[in-house]
A and B are shown apart, each in its own frame.
Chain A
Amino acid sequence: ETGVTQTPRHLVMGMTNKKSLKCEQHLGHNAMYWYKQSAKKPLELMFVYSLEERVENNSVPSRFSPECPNSSHLFLHLHTLQPEDSALYLCASSWTSANEKLFFGSGTQLSVL
C-alpha cells in the first residue's frame, strides 16, 4: 500500500465515450501528477498540480482534461479518445512539485477501442 489509490484498475472504452479516472492520496502531499506509460516508451509526464493549481501541462491533447478539487484528489476526464491513447495511466504524489520523491498509484490500464 503506497498511500495512492487509483480507480478503476482497468477501463475499456469506445472512442465516443466519456469516462473519468480517479486518484486519491492519503499521504498529506501537496503535489499530484498524471503520467502516461506506453509500451517501449519512457514514462511521459502529462500534468502537475501543486496545492490544487495546475503548474504544468506537458502539451497534452485537450481530449484529456484534469481536475484537482483538493490536494488529496485528482481526476483525469477522458472524451473522444483515440486507440493510440491506450496505455497505463499512473497517478503520483509528492510533498512538493519539486519531484523529490514520487509515490505512485497502481495505475489504470486503459484500452480504447
Chain B
Amino acid sequence: TQLLEQSPQFLSIQEGENLTVYCNSSSVFSSLQWYRQEPGEGPVLLVTVVTGGEVKKLKRLTFQFGDARKDSSLHITAAQPGDTGLYLCAGARGGATNKLIFGTGTLLAVQP
C-alpha cells in the first residue's frame, strides 16, 4: 500500500516565522500536488511539480520535488495568519487513471 507521510502533523507558529512541511514516500510518483484546505472549505490546488529536483515558488511559498520523485517539501517564509490551514500533498501514479494518493496532512496555525 502506498503511503504519503507528512510531517509535522501539527504546527503552531507566530506570524513572521519560517516553516517547512515534508511529504515522504517509499514510492515514485509521476507528479506531486500540494493543496491547502481552509476550515469549512474543500482543498485548493497550490502547485504541481513534475520533474525530479524541480523547485517552484508561489509568493512566499517554495515547493521542491525530490530528485528521486519520492518526496517533496513546502517552505513558507514569513508566515501570515492567512496561511493557516491543512496542507495536503498528493502523489500521482501516472498511467491511464493517474490515481492520486493523498498524504496524511499538516495542520498549520499561524498566530498573529
Contact = CB atoms under 8 A, between A and B. Distances in A.
Interface residues of A, number: 24
Contacts, number: 54
B97 A55 contact: yes
Interface stretch (A67-75, A78-86, A102-110): A102-110
A45 interface: yes
Nearest to B97: A97
30 contacts: A40-B104, A41-B104, A42-B4, A42-B102, A43-B43, A43-B88, A43-B90, A43-B102, A45-B100, A48-B97, A55-B97, A56-B97, A90-B42, A90-B43, A92-B42, A98-B96, A99-B92, A99-B97, A99-B98, A100-B92, A101-B33, A101-B48, A102-B45, A102-B100, A103-B45, A104-B43, A104-B44, A106-B41, A106-B42, A107-B42
Interface of B: 4, 33, 35, 40-45, 48, 88, 90, 92, 96-105
